[in-house]
Amino acid sequence: MAILKIARMGHPVLRRPADPVSDATAPEIRALAADMIETMRDASGAGLAAPQVHVPLRLVVFFVPPGRAEDPDDADDAAAGLTILCNPSIEPLDGAQADGWEGCLSVPGLRGVVPRWRRIRYRGLDLNGTSVDRVASGFHARVAQHEIDHLDGILYPQRMRDLSLLLFTEELRHGVPEGAPPLAGPPGAGDEEE
Ligand code: NI
């Protein structure tokens, strides 16, 4: 296992569509996923996509930290353990979007307000080649959309509608700008990649 170097916004690997994983059960994919998980944990992230570690393959890892679930009455918006997905796809379920704060390990030090589908279905393969087919909402839906966007060369600022809500995390000590959604969750809980 190894902690990998994270590519930053502007690196070509983050701008191109990633290639499909040809065999989700291959030992090299398992090794890559293990390194990505170690790298994500080291950086206190909630998710990571392979292009972020300079590997242009359709592989993502993410989890929903305790305290980041947004709606206690919604079973699809709950803390969730580690998810590893090869060749994932996303389908919005009800057409509703919600604004929320995001950060990204490839865009260090910044956060922004990003509209995302509130409720999605995502599918992919795990490392045993078994189908994953899940409904997610809230933060779970947000982190899945953020990571899968990386596979299409899209970083969260490209999804923003109001760039006045792109700011340095440190400056949030002055408070959240008027009209922006509140910051979710306890400080440090998946702050860097949402
Ligand atoms: Ni990211």
SS3 track for 44-63: CCCEEEHHHHCCCECEEEEE
**What's the mean per-residue pLDDT of the chain?**
93
Ligand 1 center to residue 4 CA distance, Å? 15
Residue-wise pLDDT tens digits, 17-41: 999 999 999 999 999 999 999 999 9
Ligand 1 center to residue 42 CA distance, Å? 15
Q: Which residues surround ligand 1, an ion (CB under 5 A)?
A: 104, 193
SS3 track for 100-112: EEEEECCEEEEEE
Sheet strands (E) in 6-144 = 47-49, 59-64, 80-92, 97-104, 107-117, 119-125, 131-137
Active-site residues: which are they? Answer: 147
Asked if 91 and 52 count as a contact pair (C-beta separation under 8 A), the reply is: no
Ligand 1 center to residue 175 CA distance, Å? 23
Ligand 1 center to residue 95 CA distance, Å? 23
Decide: pTM greater than 0.95.
no
Can you tell me whether residue 133 is helix, strand or coil?
Answer: strand
pLDDT band at 78; cut points 50, 70, 90: confident
Between 71 and 139, name the one with better pLDDT: 139
Residue-wise pLDDT tens digits, 87-125: 999 999 999 999 999 999 999 999 999 999 999 999 999
